[in-house]
Structure 1
């Protein structure tokens, strides 16, 4: 489970899509960039392959809730 999820806009112009995000998963911090099309660009080591799909799904759900469902 993802904990301590945080995000902020990627650009000063908040109308432009793109967000920095960070969270902890299994006691390890992960960071990345979430693009408007749902692509994730990891700026830290990415989660293990066995966890990657589950983590990406959780990030998508959190971004949808916090950014698009305001």
Structure 2
């Protein structure tokens, strides 16, 4: 489970898509850039079980950003 999930726009005062994300997973912080197509460029390493993490992040982004 992801903990302390946060996001913010990459491009302030713009409608360009793209968000920076941050969360804890297995007691380690992960940061990345979330792109419109759902891809993530990880900033400090890829989390274990990346496919499962991608699904969780995508679900959270769908809930917070797209709805």
Name the TM tier (shorter chain). Answer: over 0.9
Provide the rounded CA distance (Å) in 1 between the counterparts of 2:54 and 2:65: 16
Aligned to 1:52: 50
Aligned to 2:4: 4
The answer as to 2:19 corresponding to 1:19 is yes
TM-score (norm 1): 0.91
Please give the root-mean-square deviation of Cα atoms over the aligned residues, in Å: 0.8
* Distance apart, 1:32 and its partner CA: 0.2
Aligned length: 67
Return 5+ residue gaps in structure 2 as ranges: none
Provide the rounded CA distance (Å) in 2 between the counterparts of 1:14 and 1:23: 24
Any runs of at least 4 consecutive aligned residues in structure 1 with deviations exceeding 6 A, and if so which?
Answer: none
